[in-house]
Structures are given as C-alpha cells and as structure tokens.
Structure 1
Amino acid sequence: MANNFDRNITREDLMRRRASLLQRMHIDGQLLFILLTIAATGLFVLYSASGKDWGLVIRQAVSFGIGLTGMLIIAQFEPRFMARWVVLAYVGGLVLLGIVLVAGDGAKGAQRWIYIPGVIRFQPSEFMKLIVPMMVASYLGSRALPPRLKHIVVALALAVVPFGMILIQPDLGTSLLIIASGAFVLFMGGLQWRWILSAVAAVVPLAIGMWFFVMRDYQKQRVLTFLDPESDPLGSGWNIIQSKAAIGSGGVYGKGWLQGTQSHLDFLPESHTDFIIAVLGEEFGLVGICLLLFLYLLLVARGMAITYKAQSLFGKLMAGTITLTFFVYVFINIGMVSGLLPVVGVPLPFISYGGTSIVTLLAGFGVMMSIHTHRKWIAQG
C-alpha cells in the first residue's frame, strides 16, 4: 500500500513538474498538441497531393519548424510589450507592401512577393493578417468600450490602408480577410448593433461598386463561375467541377492514401495548395474530412477558452480575433472548394502548401499562448 501511495505521489509530482515547465516556457500544452496533430496531418496529405514530391514536403516541414520556433519566441513576450510596439510592425508592414507595389516579384499576373535572390521569397500581405488586428486591438484596448464613432473611424482606417494596398497587387482574398480581421476586433470590442446593421446594409452598394470599378476580369469570372460552373467547364469552371468530382468520388471512407485519381492524373489543378481538401476528400472520404474538421473545432474551442480567460482588454480582443479569423480561413477554403463560395485563393490552414502562411498562422497562435500564460498583466487605461 505504501509503495503504491509513493508511486501515485511521484506521478502527481511529475505531472506538476511538466505543467510548471510548460508554464515557465509560456506554452499552452493543449494548443501545441492540436497544432502538431494538424501539422502532421497536413504533411501526410501534402505528400499525396504533391505527387509524392519529398522536396515539397520537406520545405513545408521546414516552414513548420520556423513557424513553431517563432511561435515559442513570441509566446515569451508579454501582451503589454506587443501592444506597445505593434505600431512599428504596422509601419514596417506598410513599407513592405509599398516595396511590393514598386519592385515586387510577380507570378500568374499578380505582384505579391518580395524576392531576395538566394535568401528568401515571402509575401508581406500574409504578415499583415496578424499585424492589422493587433494594431486595431492595441488602439481600442487603451480606450473605453464600446468604441465611439471617432474610434471606429480610426480603427477602420488602420485596416483600410493595407486593404487597399493589397487589393492593388491584386489579391482580393487576402485583402478581404484583412479588412475582416479589423472588423472582428471591433465586433469583439462591443460594437453597437446599429453600426453592425449599417455595415451589413452597405455591403450591397459596396459590392456593386467593387464589381464595376475595382474587380478585374478574372475576379469577375470567378464570381460568374461560382454562380454557374457549367458555363465554362473547360475554363474557369474546371477547378470547381473537378474538386467537387474528387470529393464526391471519395464517398464515405475514400479510395485510400495515394489512390486518388483526380490529383494524381492532374485533373485537379492546385491540388497541393488551395484545393488540397479535395485530395483529402477523395482519398479519405467523408470520415477524413470530418476528422480534420474536428481538429479545427478543437483548435477554435481552445482559442475561445483562452479568450474567455484573458485578463486584459488587449488580450481578449486579440485572442478572440485570431480565433474568429482562423475559423473564417477554414470556412472560406472549404466553401470555395465545395462550390458554396467563389474561389478567392485562400489556403486551408496548416494543410495547403505555403511557407509564409504557416509562419504567420503559428505566430498568431504564439500571441495567443502569450495572452494565456501572461494572465497576471492587466491592461492600463
């Protein structure tokens, strides 16, 4: 009996030590476990979606490693420090977006990247997905809530400036996500319903204005294809038709890993990026997609729990916004691949190939870990 009792005490002590170690490192164990599980799933699916390209998988794994390192480093900084210095990151981000417009690297008719030969090629707009909501949260976090009209105008301006610069590249999907992230901060800040309803009412005239004066021909074609994919089955409607065929052919249990035909026979374009969930659906069926969605829901649930426990206004605004924005990424990608939304070029988080996107997402979760593990700080003002 005594030996069993001592053994139980030892196990409890070990659990406490492990928990305290994670706390000292400012790591949320549950969040880290879910992220690693999704990352492993993403590499597993990417190997098949890329046509067994180990080089692509290794580059993705390296991006995960860089992102995880950045996440752990960011988690060490107090939210107070981030709120104080985010303005420099915001200004730096605008400078990088300006460089993209002047001397950016182009691909497929879009100028979105900065390329340093032999060093790195990255997309500054991805970083703004995190910097913009942090800037808005920092601004609103030092003011009384719900925000007044003048504060709403300033907060929207902070999001509209990068939105316009990214829209010019052109990158409609990223620009809309950035303006949405700024709006989420306002929503989390208790924006009055009259302003929310006014914004909803303004969507129609804004959409009409964007159709005639902002959207390019290929973007308009994406909307028309969304409404009727069969109108151009060998052109702009090809991706949607093939992705739905891939998902449907997978059935309940799928055809098996590496057994998909749509991707391996090159019927499905962009199978390793925007349309990778179609590969998952074909090879692992409805069960595979539901398991991935379950992991995403666990991540969102953990994010909402951290938001609820946050003890600073900046922390609540930021954690809630990161969680909502992440949910929107997943919703938009799955919606466009299944034909429920127009194709806007939004990757599936941690599954689609893309280094800058992964690093930015993990940086966001690093901010969330910091908020959760530095809960003794109470925002001033």
Structure 2
Amino acid sequence: MVDVILGLQWGDEGKGKIVDYFAPNYDIIARFQGGPNAGHTLYVGDKKIVLHQIPSGIFHQNTTNIIGNGVVLDPVTLKKECEAVAAFGIDVKKNLFISQRTNLIVPTHRALDKASEISKGESKIGSTLKGIGPSYMDKTGRNALRVGDIMDKSFITQYIKLRLKHQRLLDNFHFAEDISAWEEEFFDAIEFLRTLNIINGEYFINDKISSGKKVLAEGAQGSMLDVDFGTFPFVTSSNTISAGVCTGLGVAPQKINKVFGVTKAYCTRVGSGPFPTELHDETGEELRKIGNEFGATTGRPRRCGWIDLVALKYTCMLNGVTNVVMTKADVLDSFKELNVCTEYLINGSKSTEVPFQLTHADVKPEYKAFEGWNCDSTSLKTGDNLPEAMQRYISFINQYIGSPVSHVSNGPQREQIIKIND
C-alpha cells in the first residue's frame, strides 16, 4: 500500500521534516510531482540541509528513494544536491532511483520562466524562476525531453530541436540574456545523471508494492497551489493533491491508504496571490520573526497570518486526509490570544466554502478567538502534557475540519514531534 504526505496550505508547511520522521516506517519514499521549486528542510544532527528534488528519506540508509515521472527534474540542481547529500556520507547511487518518464528542465525553460515573469509586470505570479511552468507546458504540449531520452544517441539532436523552439518564444519576449554558461553546466549535469539509477518507474514501484514493501509518497508545494483546485492563476503547474500520486508514480487509486496532511498552526504564503487571513500588522511581523518565515528555496520573506479553517477543510476534503500533522505549534507559544478563520465574508455574504475565483472576490475572514497557552512547548514529549489551551485549540480544529490532528511538531529537530491521536 501507499501512504501519502502532502501540504494542506500554500506550501512551506514543514513536509520535509515530517517525511524524515515517518521514513523509518517505510521501505520506499517517492516524490510524485513538482520540481526544484520545492524546499524541504531537514536537520541531520545539528546540520541543516534543504532538499529540492531528492526525496526526504535519503538519510535513512535502508530506504529506497524514487523521483517519479510526475516530477520535472533539473539535472544541475540534482547534481549539486547529490554532492551536498554525499558530504553527509550518503551514497546516492545506492538508494536513489529516477523514473525514465521524468521530464527534464533544460536551460531555456529557466530563461522562458524569467522572460515570462518579467513581461507580466505587476501581474506576476511570484514564480521561483526555476523553469517549472515552461517544463510542464512542454509536457502537456508533447515537446518535452525525459530522463530516458538522455540514453538515446539522438539526445543532442532532440535537445537542439527543443532549444530552437524555445528561442523563437524568447525572441518574442525580446530576451537577450546569455545562457551559454547554463548550457555548459547542464550538459555536465547530464553526464552525472547518466551514472545514477534510471528505472522503469511504474513497474519498479508496483513490483515493490506487490512484494509487500511500504511506500510513502512525498508531495511538494501545497494543496492551495494545485493547478486545478488552488488559487488560480497564482498556483504551481502540477497537481499537488493526493490524486497526483497516481499519475505521478503510476499506481492505481485503490493502492492509496493513509493520507497525512501537513499544516502549520498558522498560515504563510510566498509570492503573489490571495491570502484571506494575511496580517499586515505587528502580529504578522512577530509570526514571521519567531517562525523564521523565509522561503527555503527563494529566501523571500513569507507572508503570515492566522490559520484558515475554511481553506483547511477544503484541502482535507480534496485529499481525503486521514491524519493531520500540525507543525510550528511552538511559534504560537508567546501569543496571548490566537484567532482562527471559521467563515469568509464574500461580497457581504457569509460562506464556509472556498470560492471559484478567490483572486477576484472581496473576501474578509471571520474569526473565532482562543486564549494562547503562554508557555514553552518545545520540550514537551507526549500529548498528555500539552497545555489545556493548546488542547482546546487543536480540539476545535479537529471538530471543524473533520480530520484528526494526530501529530504536533513543536520544534525543528526530528525528535520534536508529539503523537497525540492515532
């Protein structure tokens, strides 16, 4: 069977640590979508590392890690990441496997991403400029190069054909930046990629499942960034919800078992787009400061606000969430009063549904206030020791969203996770 861990907000929920925490219970960790726009932060001992494409189970020696076909892969980023992981004594050639059907990000994808974002002016979506969108466009346009293609003797010819197509688009944007250095780096990374384990991913993972192996599918970004169900057009280019596991790994729906949804105890967002509970005051700034809310991939300061239960219930519904993992609960330790959004006031009418076009709606959050717990929660080990005020906060969220909060993360370290509910 396949269990899933994914984000329930706008990304940055702390999924990397959660995958790392659960990884010892699984034989295989598999990334099923997204690309180097992901930033999953882990701590190995007292050392911090951010993974962008490699699954977060890589530091567990007996765990197989798969990059699935739903991912768009930047070979340059992968090479650098493998080198960083190797510095911790991990042999990626032993336990990292990449699906042949995984689409490649080429240098001109990055150029197109940059040119497109510049052309949007004030309407820009806040792209990470990693080439994600253009790569997925080539996938749906049936022009993409895939990892399996690098083993073909005609790969260079295929690459040149795609680059010429991209160049015509770049000319329309009047993009004149020299990317020759990017190309040199790219082909060096392609040589490295050829030395890794390239597999027929769908057969590989289904054979493992049939033999009784336990698989954990790792999502990137968050459900509110899903290309279909997120805050369009301020979304990513893939399906970030649990349905993406099937198409991103090649597994059947009936093989999905538990779905662990990760949410912060509050809300953040990076880049442009609607954010109903965003705080533009001292409280928002305090959340950012205490939570160290800066993007793991971009370094950009994150927008901060109270937890949005309307959106959270929506994403739990879309994903079929069986367990909720609440991260960064300790960030709220010093707040005397907390608020949770329970309704939207949309153009004067109350609603508990996420509207079709949140971008254009006049949305005002309606809040319910809670007393803060005003104590240091970072050393707590069991659910029985949670402050009463925190228990009331979590209990209300459980009741509202209809999915149990089974784990609470109370600090950045691997061991700082409290199991409170099966």
Q: What TM-score do the two structures reach when normalised by structure 1?
A: 0.26
Q: What TM-score do the two structures reach when normalised by structure 2?
A: 0.24
Larger strand proportion, structure 1 or 2?
2
